[in-house]
Amino acid sequence: MHTHARKVLTAALFAAGFCAPALAQQTPAAAPAAAPAAKPAAPPAWQQGRGAAMADSKLAPHAGKNTETPASEIPIDKLKLPKGFKAEIWATGIPGGREMARGAKGKIYVGTRGIGRVYEVTDQGDKRASRIVVDKLNQPAGVAFQDNSLYVMSIDKVLRYDGIEDKPDVPAVDMTAAFNIPLTTHHNWKYISFGPDKKLYVPIGAPCNLCEPPEHAAQIRRYNADGSGMEVIARGTRNSLGMDWHPKTGELWFVDQGRDWAGDAGPEEELNRVTKMGQFYGYPYCHAMGIPDPDIKKDKPCEGVVKPVTTLGPHASVLGTKFYTGNMFPAEYKDTLFIARKGSWNRTKKFGYDVVNVKLSPDGKKAKVKPFLTGFMNAKDDSFWGRPAYLLLMPDGAMLVSDEQLGAIYRISYSGGKKK
C-alpha cells in the first residue's frame, strides 16, 4: 500500500514538473477559463515561476497585522521628507487599511484585504473617528466614490451605498451580477477608480505569479457606473493597482507589479501610460524595458509591447499612484506623480517601503524617480515597520498616505519650513 503510494507520488512529481520551465510549458494546455478540475498540485500562486535555483529560498510574503496599533506605538519620527514637509499621524485604528476614497462631504472610506472590512473615517477637526461600514467581505480592497455613492469591490462582490455620508445605515445595493467580475482570488484584491469620464476602472490581475493568463485576466477594464458597457483598456498587465489621469492630457497612467522568483534585480516594476485603447503591455512574455521572460518563452517576446514610461525598482510592490494637483506643495511638484511602494518580500534585501515622486513630461519622456517619503525601512538590519499602500489628495493640498501594516493614515503637508 505504502510502496504503491510512493510510486504514485513519484509519478505525480514527474507529471507536475518540479521546476518552473516545466510548469510554464504545462500551463497553456491547462489554462481553460473554466474552474479547474482536480489535477496534479500546482505550487501556491505566489510560488509559481520559482526556478530550481530558488527552491530552498525562505522568502515568503510578510505577515500583515490585524490588530489595532495605537498612535503611541507608531514611530512617526522615523519618517523623512524633503525640507519644509511634515508627516503626522492623521488616523489610527484601521487595521489593514489600503485604498482610500473621499466622499462628497469629506468622509474617507478605506478598503482592506484579509480582515474583510471597509472603514469610514470622519474628520472631527482635532481628531478622527472611524467606524466599520461593512465586514466579513472577501478582501474588499477596492473603494471609490461618485455622485454621493460609495462603491466597494471585493474578490467576489460589488456593493454600492447610496447617500452613505448622511445615512450611515443605508443598505448596500448588490451590483455583483451587473459587473460580472471574474472570481479568481489571486491578484484580484483590486483598487478601483472613477475616471474623468465617470466610468469605473477595474484592474483584473493575473491569477498567478507567472502563467499564460486566461482571456479574462491580466487586464484593466472600465465599466459604466451601473456595471454595463465593459471595455478592456489595457492587456498584458500582471498586478496593476494604482492608476490616475494626467491633469493636462487626461490620459490614464498606471503602475504594474513585476513577477517574482526571477532574482533580486527584478524585472523592475513599471509605470505605464495609455495612449490607445486595448494596447498590450507585455505580461507574461516581456517585462520592464524589454526583458524577455526567462521561463515563458515565445518568438519575439517584446514585439508590439508598449514599453513603460519608466521602471520603479525591483519587487517594490508599487501601489497608490496620484498626480499632484493641489496648491500646498511647492510649484516644482505640480502635475508630478507620487507613487506608494509598499515594499518587497521576494528579495533578499528589502526594497521600497516608501513614497517616490516622479517628475515627468506629459508625453512620458524624461521621467525621473526620486524618493520622497522614506524611513519605513531600516536598510542596516533589513527591517521595516510600515508599508505605504495608497495616496489621497485632500482639498487643502495635503496628501494622505495609508499604512497597511500599522492600520494608520499619515498626513503629509508643506509649510516651507515655517513652524505652525
Partner 1 sequence: MLSRLIEGRRAWLLAALLFSAPAAAQLTERCASCHGPDGTSITPGIPSIAGQPKVYVENLLILVREGVRGSAAMQQQMKGVSDREIIALAAHFAKLPLRPTPGASNAALIKQGRLATARYRCGICHLHDYRGREGSPRIAGQREEYLSDVMRAFRDAPPPGSEANMSAAMYGVSDADIRAMAHLLAHSP
113 scored as a contact of partner 1 (CB under 8 A): yes
Cβ closest to partner 1, residue 10 vs residue 361:
10
Q: Which of 378, 371, 376, 372 is nearest to 406 (CA)?
A: 376
116 scored as a contact of partner 1 (CB under 8 A): yes
38 scored as a contact of partner 1 (CB under 8 A): yes
Question: Considering CB under 8 A, how many residues would be counted as binding partner 1?
Answer: 42
62 scored as a contact of partner 1 (CB under 8 A): yes
47 scored as a contact of partner 1 (CB under 8 A): yes
420 scored as a contact of partner 1 (CB under 8 A): no
Q: For CA atoms 67, 346, 260, 386, give the dihedral sign.
A: positive
Segment interacting with partner 1, rule: CB under 8 A, options 4-12, 21-29, 198-206, 262-270? 4-12
57 scored as a contact of partner 1 (CB under 8 A): yes
Phi-psi region of 65 (alpha: psi -120 to 50; beta: other; left: phi over 0): beta
Name, in order, each residue with C-beta under 8 angstroms of 6's C-beta and a sequence gap of 6 or more. none
117 scored as a contact of partner 1 (CB under 8 A): yes
Taking the complex as a whole, how short is the minimal distance between the CB of residue 231 and partner 1, in angstroms? 29
Segment interacting with partner 1, rule: CB under 8 A, options 38-46, 74-82, 121-129, 267-275? 38-46
Going from the C-alpha of 337 to that of each of 245, 270, 281, the distances in angstroms are 10, 13, 20
Binding letters toward partner 1, positions 173-202, x by CB under 8 A: ------------xx----------------
Q: Which of residues 126-165 bind partner 1 (CB under 8 A)?
A: 135-139, 155
Among 19, 22, 31, 42, binds partner 1 (CB under 8 A): 42
Query: SS3 sequence, 219-274?
Result: EEEEECCCCCCCEEEEECCCCCCCEEECCCCCCEEEEECCCCCCCCCCCEEEEEEE
Q: Which of 331, 352, 335 is nearest to 343 (CA)?
A: 352
Strand 279-280 relative to strand 231-235: parallel, antiparallel, unpaired?
A: parallel
Cβ closest to partner 1, residue 40 vs residue 362:
40
Find the helix or strand (DSSP H, E) in which 125 lies.
none
Distance from CA of residue 340 to its chain's centroid? 9
Among 29, 34, 35, 41, binds partner 1 (CB under 8 A): 41
Cell numbers of 334, please?
505640480
Residues of this chain that bind partner 1 (CB under 8 A): 2, 5-6, 9, 13, 38-47, 55, 57-68, 95, 113-117, 135-139, 155, 185-186
